Structure 1
Amino acid sequence: MKNWLICIDDTDDIGTKGTGEIAEEIAQILAEVSGGKVSFITRHQLFVHPDIPYTSHNSAMCFHLCSPLPQDEILKLAVAHLVAESAPAADPGIAILDTGSVFDASALIDFGRKAKSEVITKATAYALAEQQNISLTEHGGTGQGIIGALAGLGLRLLGNDGRVKGKIKLGQSDEVPHELSVADILAKTGLDAVMSTDEYQLKLDETVQLKGKVKAVYLNHKFVLLVNRDANVWCNASKQVLQHY
């Protein structure tokens, strides 16, 4: 078994299937074909600028794959689905990193950080991918998606960036809070921890009131339910707080 990070970007258009959904489908295909395992998918917010084409938010989607498949087979399967499902007006790109290979994680992390605040060229992305032996390919349109795909790898390696794709449903509603212990939350979701916004990790017997839209983030290399204190009660973090991830 080998461990891989796979990231895609710029696959959608207004009214079409989102990049996160396509990433989820690719992850499922790769896991089913190889009998491997995939992680949660993380959404990484990139720079929003007039010189950067994007649909609505300019975000890349990344996941970890543990699989016996060789890289060329992973690329073949992933690209087939990427091309089939991407919008005609999209500029999709995909990046694949063998995490067991020799590469400069700090260089990739630096690239990811820059992509959150700077306009980066395709030439810069291709040069870095070649230096780090990363598979970086474009599959339609301008191919600008390769920049976000490579940046997403770096931000996932950073371990402190990204929201986890999907909402967490544990019986809560918009109106009525639902209280659960940390132990129950972890068991029901597969998350690694419940953590406060100041990075205190809650104990298993502590309780959290869940209400409305509940989402996880990637923090300290863990998949975390983020919470804050409200009138001495732990509550899931608000949408405004989550926008920082």
Structure 2
Amino acid sequence: MTEITIYIGLDDTDIPGSRGTGRLAHDVAIAVSEKYRAYAITRHQLFVDDRIPYTSHNSNAVVHVDASGPDVCREIFDISKQAMLDQFLEGSDPGLAVGDADQILPPLIVMAQDAKTTVLDQELPRALAKNLGIRLEGLGGTEDGVIGAMAGLGLAATKDDGRFLLLGSLRTIMKETDVETLLSNGVDSVYLPDGRQVTSGIIRLGGGENKKKKDNRYPKPSAVAGKTVLFVKEREDGIYQAYMRR
């Protein structure tokens, strides 16, 4: 079955002390949602290496839009570009990529996987964009953000990488919830690291290892083998602590 999704990849949009790329992705999603349904945002971890300039974690963000077609891709690219330019920060090196699901072919996925373990330059991402018909543009600075923007498309399309920053109404679930609520709001399953599936009980959000990060107090499940999975650690009988995988 053909997937109907347009992916918007963003990277290198921030500078030290500014809000991150994930926050800007939310604003892009809001702008796009005036015409199309942006149903998810995922975060993807790229290679951390001293040879790669990055602000804090070297991660990108991808907005998932329920739409398809070349004309729609062009329109979504223009909307996203304007939203990013409106918040451009001097000193950042942003890149923007927009592609339909059927444009994200194996060579791009392999390049995206390489971006998690290897230092890349702009040559290959730009060549892939040209040959696959994907809209790609650097929006300032060195334009190195085109690397992560293209990598984001490839990683998101596998549905086997990254974690969700936005999915349905999950952001409205704060601090503590139960497994049943998660399963009725977009999470496919809840697992402990040792493979045991959690089908009932209380899930604490935030606190634990993330107690200083207020934005972690809502569920951020991972994309694993086409499923949306929240990983938890057992605290006591019937009570679990959610944790985020990179």
TM-score range, shorter chain: 0.7 to 0.9
Q: Secondary structure at the match of 2:33?
A: helix
| Cα distance, 1:72–1:161 mapped onto 2, change above 3 Å | same
| Partner residue in 2 for 1:218 | 223
Asked whether the equivalents of residues 103 and 133 of structure 1 are also in contact (C-alpha less than 8 Å), the reply is no
- Whether the aligned pair in 2 keeps the contact of 1:31 and 1:67 (CA below 8 Å) is no
Which residue does the alignment assign to 1:235? Answer: 240
Measured in 1, the distance between the counterparts of 2:177 and 2:13 equals 38
Relative to structure 1, the CA distance from residue 221 to residue 86 in structure 2 (aligned partners, 3 Å threshold; closer, same or farther) is farther
Alignment correspondent of 2:190: 194
The match for 2:72 among 61, 67, 70 is 70
Contact in 1 for aligned 2:221/2:229 (Cα 8 Å) = yes
Candidates 13, 16, 37, aligned match of 2:15 = 13
Aligned to 1:164: 164
Counterpart CA distance in 2 for 1:80 and 1:209 is: 39
State the Cα distance separating 1:163 from its structure 2 match.
Answer: 2.1
- Where 2:60 maps in the other structure, the secondary structure is strand
Matched residue, 2:96: 94
RMSD: 2.5
Show the counterpart of 2:83: 81
Cα contact 1:194–1:201 (8 A) shared by 2: yes
* Gap change, CA 1:72 and 1:14, over 3 Å in 2: same
Mean CA deviation greater in 154-163 or 137-146:
154-163
| 1:225 to 1:116, Cα distance in 2 relative to 1, 3 A | same
Q: How many residues align?
A: 228
Q: 1:208 to 1:115 in 2, by over 3 A?
A: same
Deviation sequence 1:147-174 (CA, Å, 0-9, x none)? 00111111112222112227856453xx
Identity %: 33
Residue 175 of structure 1 corresponds to none
Q: Go from structure 1 to structure 2 and tell me whether the alpha carbon gap of 1:179 and 1:124 turns closer, same or farther (over 3 Å shift).
A: closer
Query: Which letter does structure 2 place at the counterpart of 1:47?
Result: F
Give the aligned partner of residue 185 of structure 1.
182
Distance (Å, rounded) in 2 between the aligned partners of 1:42 and 1:154 = 12
User: Which of 214-223 and 110-119 deviates more?
Assistant: 214-223
| AA partner of residue 139 (structure 1) | L
The code of the aligned residue for 1:21 comes to R
Letter in 1 for 2:32: L
Equivalent residue for 2:58? 58
DSSP-derived class of the 1:160 partner: coil
Given the superposition, is the C-alpha separation of residues 102 and 151 from structure 1 closer, same or farther in structure 2, using an over 3 Å criterion? closer
2:169 is the alignment partner of 1:154: no
- 2: CA distance, partners of 1:202 / 1:150: 35
Please name the residue that 1:141 is paired with.
141
Distance 2:177 2:39 in 1: 26
**Counterpart for residue 201 of structure 2:** 207
**How high is the TM-score relative to the length of structure 2?**
0.82
1:51: how far off?
2.0
Answer yes or no: is the 8 Å Cα contact 1:23–1:61 preserved in 2: yes
Secondary structure at the counterpart of residue 63 of structure 1: strand
Question: Partner amino acid for 2:227?
Answer: K
The amino acid that maps onto 2:72 is: P
Query: Which sections of structure 2, spanning at least 5 residues, go unmatched?
Result: 208-216
Distance (whole Å) between structure 2 residues aligned to residue 83 and residue 102 of structure 1: 25
Instruction: Tell me the CA shift for residue 17 of structure 1.
Output: 2.8
- How many Å separate the matches in 2 of 1:3 and 1:169? 24
Kept in 2, the 8 Å contact 1:96–1:136? The answer is yes
Farther off after superposition, 216-225 or 151-160: 216-225
| Residue matched to 1:113 | 113
Is 2:204–2:242's contact at 8 Å kept on the other side of the alignment?
no
